[in-house]
Structure 1
Amino acid sequence: MGSTFLQGNLSKWSGTLNKEWKKKYVTLCENGLLTYHPRLNEYMQNVNGKEIDLLSTTVKIPGKRPPRAFSPGTSPRTIIQLVVWMSCDMLTNKMSTNRSSVHFSLPQVELWFPFFKHLLHSITRRLRLHYIFELSKFDVRWFVSFLTFLSEPDDAYEFTIVSLSEESWLFRADGPEEQQAWVSAIQAQILARLQASEGNKVKVRGYETSSVTIQTIINTPGNSVCVDCGAPNPTWASLNLGALMCIECCSGHRALGAHLSRVRSLHLDHWPPGQAGILAAMGNQLANSVWEATCSTTDKLCPNTTRQEKEHWIEQKYKDKAYLAPLPQLELPLGQQLAHATADGNVRLVMQLVAHSERDDINATDGEGRTALHVACQQGNSVLAQLLIWYGADMDKHDVHGQTALNSAQLAGNASCVHLLLQNQPKP
């Protein structure tokens, strides 16, 4: 299992039918594995444990919500006291014989609005918790439990480990110091695992990408340095961004999630022709002409910027789209512009347009019911077809003749697009 780096008791959110917090004995090992057991003695006996390989994960702390709105001079504690008072009054009236004349004589009318705002906020924010299933019971124990629930801050000392496959594990510490200690230790182990993997050039999934393919990607304009901070010789890639990055910026891309940046190792992962084609057709120079079009030199990252600053800047760049190139046209609908750019084979413009697009724009149709994906497959442009699929193109959409993108590729005799679409079909 490897020597232990950090260990202790944490609460883990159960994803099973009985959704609740359960105490676990958690260990973080120096080999990059995080294990958790129901109890310490089961850890000692090495039974009933589960493990998480941190190589393909990132760790996140749920965002802090803004302060709640209360009336002037009213503290959260006052609200909880009001809830207690109302609950007792309500229960007293409920148990009285005259149930038709329930009456509340609130001492402060102005507290009604913040109370209900607070109550609604808490319920809507945390419907996933089991309290909502107890509403019908309406007894004293439920009220005590519910009031405790309301008085606790949301996301108190929680952190989430998320894998590239979008699997997640939610843990909760007993305090802020313990939370930060675990998050920092996990981040350090993720980075160590990534660095260790750099030295292991191995075959993946039974394939081995040729050195010619790798060198072609490296020789693409801008790919000699990291797309974000400019560090030399980047060895990690974002598939859908068509860019290479260093190992530290890779951590920031993992934190974005696979829907924004699909991270892969340049040397460890297999690169099918469609994926390698995007990296060779785009590259860092093209990517930054889209994603950093309005970024000044003083705003850019540099290699010695701290990891925390890099992660924040990367989030601004790709999630908030702070430096994104503006749309070239405002008169034409986005979907129509995208179809035209695809027909022209303009990779940069397609990248720029999909960055601005929602799924409906990407799947917009022309007079014949064709989408941009239909156009790419009819023309045999597998690079643009793959890019459109990653950004949400519907492969099953039919045109007015009942043809899907796959049918269009088959009729046009474009084998590369046929192969690409079959590869991207969801597994049964």
Structure 2
Amino acid sequence: MKITVDFEECLKDSPRFRATIEEVEGDVCELESKLDKLVKLCIGMIDAGKAYNAANKQFVNGIRELAQQSTKDERRQGVPFLILFDQAQRSIKTQLQTFVKDDLRKFKEAKKQFDKVSEEKEAALIKNAQAPRNKQHEVEEATNILTATRKCFRHIVLDYVLQINVLQSKRRSEILKSMLSFMYAHLTFFHQGYDLFSELQPLMKQLGGQLDQLVVDAAKEKRDMEQKHSTIQQKDFSNDDTKLEYNVDADNGIAMEGYLFKRASNAFKTWNRRWFSIQNNQLVYQKKFKDNPTVVVEDLRLCTVKHCEDIERRFCFEVVSPTKSCMMQADSEKLRQAWIKAVQNSIATAFRDKGDDGEKLDRKSSTSTGSLDSGGEPKERSLKGESALQKVLAIPGNSCCCDCGQPDPRWASINLGITLCIQCSGIHRSLGVHFSKVRSLTLDTWEPELLKLMCELGNRVINQIYEARREELGARKPQSGDPRHEVEAYIKAKYVDRRFIRRPSDEELRTKVVSLSKQEKRLSSSSEHLPPRAPPPTPKLRPGSNVSGQSGQWTDNSVFQPWGRLEFKNGEMAFYEPKEYSPGLQLFWASCARSLPDMAEALAHGAEVNWVNTEDEKRTPLIMAVQGGSLVTCEFLLQNAANVNQQDAQGRGPLHHATMLGHTGQVCLFLKRGANQNAADIDEKTPLAMAVEAANADIVTLLRLAKMNEEMREAEGPYSQSGDETYQDIFQDFTHMASNDPEKLNRYQQYEPQRP
């Protein structure tokens, strides 16, 4: 509150003046108290800010140490805070303290002089009033004192009033100036912070992309760990014996390792459990992993190994060298035999390596690859990075995200055959692999059959299916930059709820099925690179059926036509329409006709990927894809969870049919996807038996290598993942040949089973 004192009123020294003076003095006292409190609070804020700044520096240094970064960028760290605190000290603490010390101090001094002269004037007035009239010299003295006192009072009271009015006028400007300066300090602080983070925005976007990839990798690692956990948990651990196998080509040089009891060479012959390993043609052990290994046998070529049955302990064996012997004990007879075999193999390996001047035998070159023909050219490997990206983005419609239209996508859904931006790929991943399987176009490796699948579908084809009724329903397609929740709602409506799909009528579905079956017939007759289709088998009755055909079921006596089925009964041919036309039947014939868009449409309309055609030997779409001869068609069905081991009425799975037709590329694909090569049909024939009977060397090679690799993995134990490298190389050669040079594999006629 601003209080001013009138100069004329002060000369009168009236009660109004005194009352005003009293009010001013109380106001100034209160002002001084509040300013002192504000200055103390400012000092506390500055001290707390300095403590925060120090803690912030320590926190940043902790982050730097966590990231193990050696560079130290101190240019910006804490500078805005220091500027803010310095300005607070100058604008509030220093400036207000100056106002309190200078202006309020002058006011207090003026008040003291005013109070003193007021008392002196009051005393002079009393003395002047008390002077007797008969004493002239006292009267003159009192009058002179009063005159001088009044003159002094007027001078001091005017100075005091001036000081009051100046203080009252200045207090508002000083306080406002201080607060405005502090506000500008805040403005500078936040502006500098904004500039700093604006410069960091590209880095933050880059880190966001890296974060998304880390989330993808972490999810993949989690799935792998969960799969390993589940696999191990299902194993039978009733026998604690660990499967051990000698591996001379181990990457770490350790051919075999595990715990054994070792008998000490001291007088007490104590037994101690130690970690033994065979490495670099030496037998060594160690107490703890961090300890340096102790060499038991320096050169295994100079030692022998034998069983020890003449001591009290079980499962013992002895390694004897020219200078010493070492007695060891395994946990079981199985482990003892494994260790003895490993030492013997290592001895043989040591002699072989020394005999070859230290060069290891190239085991891979000794494995027969059947009729594999590389032509002397370098092997083409799986595509990765820009090569796969360029091929997929070259498909019409793939240059933008399928769901939001963002250009230059870097992700794909391999079971849908579409390209996606990073945001939409994250949403697809959250849907689950039963809806969408996401893979990076630049970071992941792309098998040739999977790359061809992407090139035969694409965004334009899939959107014609999944967005057929979008405009009709008035649904807005999201755009790049829309909020994530809107894009997520649209993608779920599109792929999970399938809200925008146009459901075909029964007549449309019938027309589609007929068209696909006719298309399959034309393809079969015009395909030069495929082996000829097997003719319809000779009709025969199922056991227990009536010869007249009036009862019982007929088998192998029907020919499935595009529009229905022809059956032989009672020596005559009869025509039957299918019981119903369904999306499953569309998928069935589209798989045989090699039409991926029609297959994708059937799946979108609800077709079961493992749909069984009960009117055609219980065949599945995957078996019909084998009949059609397309590797990409089989890959598409497998990516959409087709069962690679589902059998037809003859007990034959896709691997049987691929072997019968001589489709080497499909055999390779099914084996990679876990097809059971030991499954036998109703004639007790396995795929290998069929391939041997047909003399198809390529397929025989693949099946035997797969069986050998399976046995090796079982022997290596539950943690084995890769198997034999020879197997991997040969399968990769067949995969690329099947996708890029299929005519090299079509050198054999299909297997035609002999009917009784």
State the SS of the aligned residue for 2:445: coil
- Give the superposition deviation at 1:334: 2.7
8 A Cα contact 1:237 1:266, kept in partner = yes
How many Å separate the matches in 2 of 1:347 and 1:300? 25
**Structure 1 position 280 matched with structure 2 position 280:** no
- Give the superposition deviation at 1:57: 5.6
Equivalent of 2:489 in 312, 316, 320: 312
How many Å separate the matches in 1 of 2:223 and 2:496? 17
**Structure 1 position 237 matched with structure 2 position 486:** no
Closer, same or farther: CA 349–423 of 1 in aligned 2, 3 Å: same
Instruction: Give the corresponding residue for 1:102.
Output: none
State the SS of the aligned residue for 1:237: strand
8 A Cα contact 2:414 2:436, kept in partner = yes
Equivalent of 2:603 in 327, 332, 354: 354
Matches within 5 A, 1:37-76: 54-56=215-217
The letter of the residue matching 1:336 is L
Instruction: Give the corresponding residue for 1:221.
Output: 396
Instruction: Give the corresponding residue for 1:254.
Output: 429
- Give the superposition deviation at 1:262: 0.4
8 A Cα contact 2:593 2:628, kept in partner = no
How many Å separate the matches in 1 of 2:582 and 2:610? 8
Closer, same or farther: CA 240–166 of 1 in aligned 2, 3 Å: farther
Q: What is the CA RMSD across the aligned residues, in angstroms?
A: 3.4
Instruction: Give the corresponding residue for 2:175.
Output: none
Closer, same or farther: CA 360–345 of 1 in aligned 2, 3 Å: closer
**Structure 1 position 323 matched with structure 2 position 500:** yes
Instruction: Give the corresponding residue for 1:401.
Output: 650
How many Å separate the matches in 2 of 1:404 and 1:214? 35
Name whichever structure is richer in helix by fraction: 2
- Give the superposition deviation at 1:340: 1.5
State the SS of the aligned residue for 1:305: coil
Equivalent of 2:621 in 372, 375, 378: 372
How many Å separate the matches in 1 of 2:225 and 2:437? 11
Question: Structure 1 residue runs of 4+, over 6 Å off?
Answer: 1-5, 30-34
Equivalent of 2:441 in 266, 275, 280: 266
Identity in percent: 31
Instruction: Give the corresponding residue for 2:372.
Output: none
8 A Cα contact 1:335 1:365, kept in partner = no
8 A Cα contact 2:619 2:648, kept in partner = yes
How many Å separate the matches in 2 of 1:245 and 1:257? 16
Tell me which moved more, 362-371 or 214-223: 362-371
- Give the superposition deviation at 1:289: 0.9
1:336-355 CA-to-partner distances (Å, cap 9, x unmatched) read 22212222222111101112
- Give the superposition deviation at 1:33: 11
The letter of the residue matching 1:423 is K
Give the length in aligned residue pairs: 248
Unaligned runs of 5+ in 1: 6-29, 35-51, 59-160, 169-205
Tell me which moved more, 383-392 or 327-336: 327-336
How many Å separate the matches in 1 of 2:645 and 2:398? 35
**Structure 1 position 341 matched with structure 2 position 590:** yes
The letter of the residue matching 1:329 is L
Closer, same or farther: CA 329–166 of 1 in aligned 2, 3 Å: farther
8 A Cα contact 1:225 1:231, kept in partner = yes
8 A Cα contact 2:658 2:666, kept in partner = yes
Unaligned runs of 5+ in 2: 1-61, 68-206, 228-380, 511-579, 676-709, 715-756
How many Å separate the matches in 2 of 1:318 and 1:57? 25
Instruction: Give the corresponding residue for 2:662.
Output: 413
- Give the superposition deviation at 1:411: 1.7
How many Å separate the matches in 1 of 2:433 and 2:461? 21
- Give the superposition deviation at 1:311: 1.4
8 A Cα contact 1:235 1:245, kept in partner = yes
How many Å separate the matches in 2 of 1:31 and 1:304? 15
- Give the superposition deviation at 1:358: 5.3
TM-score, normalization: structure 2? 0.30
State the SS of the aligned residue for 1:325: coil
Instruction: Give the corresponding residue for 2:350.
Output: none
How many Å separate the matches in 2 of 1:298 and 1:418? 45
1:216-259 CA-to-partner distances (Å, cap 9, x unmatched) read 21111110110000111111000001000111111111111111
- Give the superposition deviation at 1:32: 10
How many Å separate the matches in 2 of 1:295 and 1:360? 25
1:321-341 CA-to-partner distances (Å, cap 9, x unmatched) read 111232342750332222122
- Give the superposition deviation at 1:394: 2.0
Structure possessing the higher relative contact order (Cα contacts under 8 Å, 6 or more residues apart) = 1
Instruction: Give the corresponding residue for 2:479.
Output: 302
How many Å separate the matches in 2 of 1:261 and 1:335? 20
